[in-house]
Amino acid sequence: MKPGGRPGAEAIQRKGWLGAHRWLLARRLSQLIILGLFLAGPWLGVWIVKGNLASSLTLEVLPLTDPLLLLQVLASGQMPAANAAMGAAIVLVFYLLVGGRVYCSWVCPVNPITDAAEWLRCRLGIKGGARFSDQTRNWLLGAILLLAAISGGLAWELVNPVSMVYRGLVFGMGLAWGVLAAIFLLDLFVGRRAWCGHLCPVGAFYGLLGKFALVRVGALQRERCDDCLDCFAVCPEQQVIKPALKGADKGLGPVILSGHCTNCGRCIDVCGREVFAFTTRLANKDRSPVNGLSPVNAITPVSALAANNARSANNTRYANNTRPVKTGDNHPQEVSS
């Protein structure tokens, strides 16, 4: 990214505007479709999905339950219904496959609001802001479970912004406007990605699932990187980029394994060199140096074979140029000729 330029300018030149925004547009479409399915019933009387993102029933057949909601129910001392437990298991398996924080970037209706705040923050040139501990969201996650245990109810769901958006769209926004405005202003003026990146306990929970997810983003062509920093500029969790992109010298693979990665695909969009792509965690093969070779060369069969041949030749020369001699304590010792 050139000084004063905007992230993705090179990508737009190389791939066109649509090519440089395809995953962003796909996420917005996903979020609109999911929200539309929930609102079709109360707004239009077409009940494809009943319920909300916390717990729902699709086509009177498929139960889906937020696993975090199920944990709150258990923490409150209540026994969940069989359908709720089954729905939570289905959702759990799904996010273990596609990535826990896919919920945050592809499903959550609050995400467009925080993305808008980040967009405006960049346009206004707002820098710096409050710093939050990496563990803040985890502490808040523990707090809502503790609150459920103490209160015997689902207190978090009363103020959960995700739940408030849906209730507001059905029954009238009311207080929800204030909560969403507060999140927008928090991200705009207080700290970059403050809510989704540092405070949201829902994101913390799905981040834990993301540690084990199969589908990942990887810097599979990281040797093409020209250090433009466009990927870093747009990433909502900037700390996840460097290990995969610049970790070759440390033997780190190119796949982003951090549970905090949202699999949003923005790094793929804005990279004009097409360094990033969706892949699986299985592609994260060991890239550690072998016999002094660089990590890139170490993983190629030809280079590895050449290194082995060279090592064998050295061993042969060493064996031919040594002879045993006797020392004073009658122990043989090898010396070079």
Q: Which residue has better confidence, 287 or 264? A: 264
Q: Nearest Cα to 36, choosing from 109, 127, 145? A: 109
Strand, coil or helix: 333: strand
The rounded distance, in Å, linking the Cα atoms of 299 and 311 is 17
Output the pLDDT for position 202. 97
The rounded distance, in Å, linking the Cα atoms of 67 and 321 is 69
Comparing 5-14, 284-293, 296-305, the range with the smallest average pLDDT is 296-305
* pLDDT at residue 266 greater than cutoff 90: yes
What integer is the mean pLDDT of 107-113? Answer: 97
Please provide the distance, in angstroms rounded to a whole number, between the alpha carbons at the two ends of the chain.
59
Comparing 20-29, 39-48, 162-171, 306-315, the range with the smallest average pLDDT is 306-315
What is the residue whose two structure tokens read 């799904």? 94
Q: Rounded mean pLDDT of the chain?
A: 86
Q: Which residue has better confidence, 315 or 266? A: 266
pLDDT-based confidence at residue 128 (cuts at 50, 70, 90):
confident
Q: What are phi and psi of 53, to 5 degrees?
A: -65, -20
Q: For the whole prediction, is pTM greater than 0.85?
A: no
User: What residues does each domain of the chain span?
Assistant: 48-210, 291-321
pLDDT of 63-91, one tens digit each? 999 999 999 999 999 999 999 999 999 99
Comparing 96-100, 117-121, 125-129, 303-307, the range with the smallest average pLDDT is 303-307
What is the residue whose two structure tokens read 């949003």? 264
Q: Which residue has better confidence, 297 or 313? A: 313
What integer is the mean pLDDT of 131-141? Answer: 93
Output the pLDDT for position 211. 94
Q: Within 13 Å of residue 323, how many CA atoms lie on the same side as its CB?
A: 2
Q: Are 166 and 151 in contact (CB under 8 A)?
A: no
